[in-house]
Amino acid sequence: MTLHLQVRRPASETVVALPPDPFARRLGRGGYRLSGRPAVFVLASLIVALLASSAAPTPLYAIYQAQWHFTPITTTVVFGVYALAVLAALLTLGKLSDYVGRRPVLLTAIAVHAGALVIFATATGVPALLSARVVQGLSTGAALGAIGAAMLDMDRELGTFANAVAPGIGTASGAIASALAVRFLPDPTHLIYLALIGVLALQAVAIAAMRETVSRAPGALASLRPEITIPRTLRTPVLTAVPVLIAVWALAGLYGALGPALVHALTGSDNVVLGGLSFFVLAASAVIATIVLRRAAARTVS
């Protein structure tokens, strides 16, 4: 398998000759379509929503565990299958939007992700949780590849920055919002997912109104073949960074799967907001570090 590092065209080169837009016919000849910085903000908000919904189950695992009497190992497995599904989607679907367009991939991913939230809201046992996490991971991975490419198409500088901070914002907000829902709102195992579905529906409307930045091209099926290639000049620094990346994401996975349980074991408190804060602080500190150190040299940050 090969990781293919592509150089995206700047926005100025991609918006010169746009493909025919079916949505434009509905808007009329002078209809407005999102592009540039407004489109980047919409795309960033979609990352936030997708990652928030992925973090939302974390404070709810204790409720599920009490209802269905499964072990912490099961919780870890439920969390872990999501990460594997995201990786599988990035490897297979990450380049699909280069051939079929950004919007079709994003709208499909949003619909599938909403389906995962429906599975969560109607779950009656561990198999449903596992199924929801797999579907959620596949849709998130597919969407992230298309979002990152679309951001660079629209505004390379702003898109790069937004793509760096939006995941952390989503993870942090999802964890704390879900914890607050458990603490203060009725029926949190349904309400939080229904609210997220509503958010995704609004974002789907905005994505449908976004201008397309690539023309359809042959090769969509071939693009599904995983490729992992690293230029020879980058192999040493990339391989040096791999252990650090694994350690960082392993720590995030630990907090995401068992953060509330660890807080309870250490403090004896059953306050779910306190448990959600552990994941919130981890993700929020990552966002702050990204903003503060974004112009620092890579060697300095490492």
157-167 pLDDT tens trace: 888 888 889 98
Q: What is the mean pLDDT of residues 9-15?
A: 42
| pLDDT higher than threshold 50 for residue 27 | no
pLDDT computed for residue 16 by the predictor? 38
Q: In this predicted model, what pLDDT tens digit does every residue of 175-225 receive, in sequence order?
A: 888 888 888 888 888 999 999 999 999 999 999 999 888 888 888 888 888
CA distance 64 to 70: 8
Closest alpha carbon to 193 in 261, 259, 136: 136
Structure tokens at 111: 């619909």
Q: In this predicted model, what pLDDT tens digit does every residue of 89-131 receive, in sequence order?
A: 999 998 898 889 899 999 999 999 999 999 999 999 999 999 9
Q: In this predicted model, what pLDDT tens digit does every residue of 46-92 receive, in sequence order?
A: 999 999 998 888 888 888 888 898 888 888 888 889 989 999 999 99
CA distance 57 to 174: 9
Q: Which residue has the higher pLDDT, 257 or 295?
A: 295
| pTM of the complete model | 0.81
| pLDDT higher than threshold 90 for residue 13 | no
